[in-house]
Amino acid sequence: MPKNRRQFLKLTGAAALGSIIAKESFALSNSNSAEIIKPPRLKIGDTVAVTSPAGAVWDAAANEKFKNILEQLGFKVILGKTLTEKFGYFAGSDELRATELTNFFADKNISAISTAKGGWGCARILPLLNYNIIKQNPKPIIGFSDITTLLNAIYAKTNMVTYHGPVGNSGWNTFTTDNFKAVLFSDKPALLNTTGKEEDKHTAINSGKASGVLVGGNLSVICSLIGSNYLPDWKNKILFLEEVKEEPYRIDRMLTQLKLAGVLDAVSGIVFGKCVKCTAEEPEKAFTFMQVLEQHFKPLPIPVFYGSMIGHIENKLTIPIGINAEMDADKGTIQLKEGAVI
């Protein structure tokens, strides 16, 4: 039996959380008054567990490739059972994915949890997670795309900082790795900026600066959670968004949903990451993507800029959810006001 499999089976047997999760939902109240919980910073020699809480990993070689990347960063690695499970388009049943994630939080030998990929499925496991265990065992959980669900739900339920950053099948180039380290290896406030390449220039839709707590992630995922109790309060927040393969009319629809839900009127500033393949199939019959953004954002009395290195792109920032920051729409920067770890 492979070593990682033995470690997982030992963990699941010891924690015996599966039956507990199946019987009861551990939902804590969403609170803005509770003190923020920062996970300990990462260091060489720490153990990182890799899980797939959403889509199935169809390329088995991707698991070993990501394991090698993490080991090159100086980590020991545990690969979860979900990385080899298939349940339709999910990486195992809802119960398995929820149990594995909760167990990884409970394990004192694990310092951080990284996700293999996004896809779809995190929302299905939200009622099955044990948020008390998660809150009592703060550690970084990192991912993006559908992982947006977990990052915001865990922050909303526990006040623990989570991290919108690269997953296993991301390109772990120098820019992405350096920003990952700047946020997770150091307790100093990081400056989150563009790469400096001409193609990565930002656009200030509304000039100015704004301060607030960072929240956000994938636009369609956030919209799918509107009306649930798994999202944070939006007041005095800096909302960051990203999207991929959505036509302008769909972006329009989703931003309208945020407007009607009161989100856009509550936040203090908005940062939109680079939207990949967000052009209309019939451009002569449609608004452009930037026209849609301007229609929704220009009337707002808050700073807004487009083009941050967030989302389904090669060069990727790691954005801490729950941390105070200042955005500068004219410079296209996000300056953390505090360290994202302790």
Is 35 labeled as catalytic in the residue annotation? no
Catalytic residue among 114, 145, 268, 308: 145
On the CB side of 1, how many CA atoms lie within 13 Å of its CA? 8
214: left (phi over 0), alpha (psi -120 to 50) or beta: beta
DSSP 91-115: SS-HHHHHHHHHHHHH-TT--EEEE
Is 164 labeled as catalytic in the residue annotation? no
SS3 assignment, position 326 = strand
Is 145 labeled as catalytic in the residue annotation? yes
**Tokens representing 51?**
């899980």
- Helix 94-106 and helix 3-15, axial crossing angle in degrees, nearest 10: 90
Distance between CA atoms of residues 24 and 202, nearest Å: 46
Could you tell me which of 320, 140, 84 has the C-alpha nearest to residue 212?
A: 320
Catalytic residue among 164, 202, 296, 312: 312
Distance between CA atoms of residues 255 and 327, nearest Å: 20
Catalytic residue among 242, 243, 246, 247: 242
- Please identify every residue annotated as catalytic: 145, 242, 312
